[in-house]
């Protein structure tokens, strides 16, 4: 068996705990999850780091996994792809991070060397991509193994706020890259975001970098729509009556919107986007779809539109980190609930019943809250 040398803790630091068991949120097939004992992760490759997770959160994608929409996630997998933590061990191939460093964990693992990484498409890294909490064990645990740590971790800035910066793991780059950049939001555009969950709200926050003329937010959850209004939506539309597209067409005097952003991941919301996109417009899909949708080319073939899809690359994370640090983007306001990591089962119930609970991002902390 190959042995991998580990960087030892700095002198005077406490020795690594010899506890070999940790607690983790484990997926056991559709609808089944448990907070269970699992072996603590160990370094497997020289590029790995072991991170002690101090803050994590739950994503809409985790709910999609629990619905059984992502068969690639199998029984026994530790979920979670967002987090902040402290580096506990590093393999000999890690040069940028050391034991004791505080880090932001990216939801995307990037080797930085393959052809996809070299063109900034980390999402399709040949040795990584979206693997955390999907193909390998994730961050909803006391410890997580991060492969290709140099490309997959970001330094946590001095004086940073864990609750704000954990939004950089996934939802801020997702909303910005898959929604705003792919939708090519420009000054003066009319934009509609279908879905006012954390990802849709991240689209709303980052679309405002470009001063669009109007941003319509569409959801069925009145509480989330109220938050959207407070975060700068021009108009919010409750789609419970099934007439959201009609309302958008009225608001735009029949023209439709320049950019329609799908941030839910179901047929009904992709249909709304197709019904409201203006001639020459863009549909940017963000939602993870577990089932087929209809593409209405019989209506769209002559509309000069484009449809984009994207798995977040997280290439904009360093830029977004600078904007958050400047105070111009305040993702902490997406936090609605706080739990100790040991109460993650309750946190899932809360996030899974978001409309009833008024939930947005639920923060889970391990150890003392700072
Ligand atoms: N492309 C990527 O890289 C990527 C990354 C992260 C998340 N995602 C996906 O983005 C989507 C949103 O994530 P989230 O964390 O905000 O999820 P979420 O489940 O918290 O939010 C989804 C929102 O959609 C609303 N909704 C449901 N049905 C609707 C309908 N018929 N009309 C209008 N609104 C409706 C819900 O009320 C909810 O507010 C998910 O599909 C998630 O998997 C994609
Ligand atoms: Zn996610
Ligand atoms: Zn790569």
pLDDT tens digits, residue range 116-173?
A: 999 999 999 999 999 999 999 999 999 999 999 999 999 999 999 999 999 999 999 9
Task: Domain 172-309: state its class.
Answer: alpha beta
pLDDT value, residue 7: 44
pLDDT of residue 10: 43
Query: Which among 64, 80, 74, 106 has a CA at the least distance from the CA of 25?
Result: 80
Contact indicator for 233, 257 with CB cutoff of 8 Å? no
First vs last C-alpha separation in the chain: 41
Q: How far is the CA of 362 from the centre of ligand 2 (A)?
A: 13
Output the pTM of the full model. Answer: 0.94
Domain ranges of the chain: 21-170+314-365, 172-309
pLDDT of 36-66, one tens digit each? Answer: 999 999 999 999 999 999 999 999 999 999 9
Which atom belonging to ligand 1 lies closest to the Cα atom of 195? Answer: 24
- What is the structure's pLDDT at 367? 73
H or E element: which one contains 62? helix 60-66
Q: Do domains 21-170+314-365 and 172-309 have the same CATH topology?
A: no
Distance 57 CA to ligand 2 centre (A): 9
> Probe ligand 1: pick from 58, 59, 60, max atoms within 8 Å of CB?
60
| Residue 346: φ, ψ to 5° | -65, -40
CATH superfamily membership of 21-170+314-365: Medium-chain alcohol dehydrogenases, catalytic domain (3.90.180.10)
Placement of tokens 């693992």 in the chain: 109
Q: Which residues of 270-307 are buried (b: 16+ CB within 10 A; e: fewer)?
A: bbbbbbbbbeebbbbbbbbbeeebeeeeeebeebebeb
Residue segments in the chain with a per-residue pLDDT below the cut of 50: 1-16, 369-370
Determine the Cα–Cα distance for residues 337 and 358; give it in Å rounded to an integer: 9
DSSP β-bridge partners for residue 55? 84, 365
* 84: three-class secondary structure by DSSP: strand
Distance 112 CA to ligand 3 centre (A): 5
């Amino acid at each position: 068996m190959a042995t991998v040398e580990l960087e030892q803790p700095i002198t005077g630091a406490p020795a690594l705990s010899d506890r070999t068991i940790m607690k983790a949120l484990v997926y056991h097939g559709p609808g089944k999850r448990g907070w269970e004992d699992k072996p603590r992760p160990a370094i497997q490759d020289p590029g790995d780091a072991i991170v002690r997770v101090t803050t994590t959160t739950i994503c809409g994608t985790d709910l999609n996994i629990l619905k059984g929409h992502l068969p690639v996630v199998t029984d026994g997998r530790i979920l979670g792809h967002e987090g902040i933590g402290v580096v506990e061990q590093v393999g000999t191939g890690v040069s940028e991070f050391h034991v004791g460093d505080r880090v932001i964990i990216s939801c995307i693992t990037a080797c930085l060397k393959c052809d996809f990484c070299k063109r900034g498409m980390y999402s399709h890294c040949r040795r990584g991509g979206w693997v955390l909490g999907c193909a390998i064990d994730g961050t909803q645990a006391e410890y997580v193994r991060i492969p290709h740590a140099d490309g997959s971790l970001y330094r946590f800035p001095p004086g940073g706020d864990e609750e704000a910066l954990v939004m950089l793991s996934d939802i801020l780059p997702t909303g910005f890259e898959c929604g705003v950049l792919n939708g090519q939001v420009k000054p003066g555009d009319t934009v509609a975001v279908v879905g006012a969950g954390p990802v849709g709200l991240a689209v709303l926050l980052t679309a405002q970098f470009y001063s669009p003329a109007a941003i319509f937010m569409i959801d069925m959850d009145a509480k989330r729509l109220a938050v959207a209004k407070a975060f700068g939506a021009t108009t919010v539309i409750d789609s419970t009556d099934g007439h959201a597209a009609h309302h958008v067409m009225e608001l735009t005097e029949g023209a439709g919107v320049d950019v329609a952003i799908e941030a839910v991941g179901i047929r009904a919301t992709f249909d709304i986007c197709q019904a409201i996109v203006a001639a020459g417009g863009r549909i940017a899909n963000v939602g993870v779809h577990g089932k087929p949708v209809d593409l209405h080319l019989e209506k769209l073939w002559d509309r000069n539109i484009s449809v984009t899809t994207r798995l977040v690359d997280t290439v904009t994370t360093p830029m977004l980190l600078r904007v958050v640090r400047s105070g111009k983007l305040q993702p902490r306001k997406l936090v609605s609930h706080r739990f100790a990591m040991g109460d993650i089962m309750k946190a899932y119930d809360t996030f899974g019943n978001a409309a009833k609970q008024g939930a947005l991002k639920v923060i889970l902390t391990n150890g003392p809250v700072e």
